[in-house]
Amino acid sequence: MLKTILSGLTFVVLFLIFYLVLCVLIAGVATIINHFRKKPGKDVFWRTFLDMFLNILDPLNWF
C-alpha cells in the first residue's frame, strides 16, 4: 500500500514539474512576442506565468 501511495505521489510531483516547465516556456514565448511588438509592460512574464500556473488550483478550468 505504501508503495502505491509513493508511486501516486511521484506521478503528481512529476506532473507538477512538467506543468511548471510548460508554463515557464509559454510565459517566455509571450514575453518575447510582447518585446517584438514593442508593447509596454515589464510584468508580462510573471503575469502570464502566474495566470497559467495558478489555474491548476481552480477545478472549473480543468475541463
Instruction: Tell me the pLDDT tens digit for each residue of 15-39.
Output: 899 999 999 999 999 888 888 888 7
Domain that holds residue 27: 17-61
Residue 36 lies in a domain: yes
Give the residue, 14 or 5, on which the prediction is more confident.
14
Domain count, the chain: 1
Read off the pTM.
Answer: 0.74
Residue 6 lies in a domain: no
Mean pLDDT, all residues of the chain: 84
Residue 53 lies in a domain: yes
Contact 30, 48 (CB under 8 A): yes
| Predicted confidence band of residue 51 (pLDDT cuts 50, 70, 90) | confident
Residue 9 lies in a domain: no
For residue 1, give the DSSP letter. -
Can you tell me the distance from the alpha carbon of 56 to that of 15, in angstroms, rounded to the nearest whole number?
11
Give the residue, 5 or 34, on which the prediction is more confident.
34
Residue 46 lies in a domain: yes
Q: What is the per-residue DSSP string for 26-45?
A: HHHHHHHHHHHTT---S-HH
Residue 4 lies in a domain: no
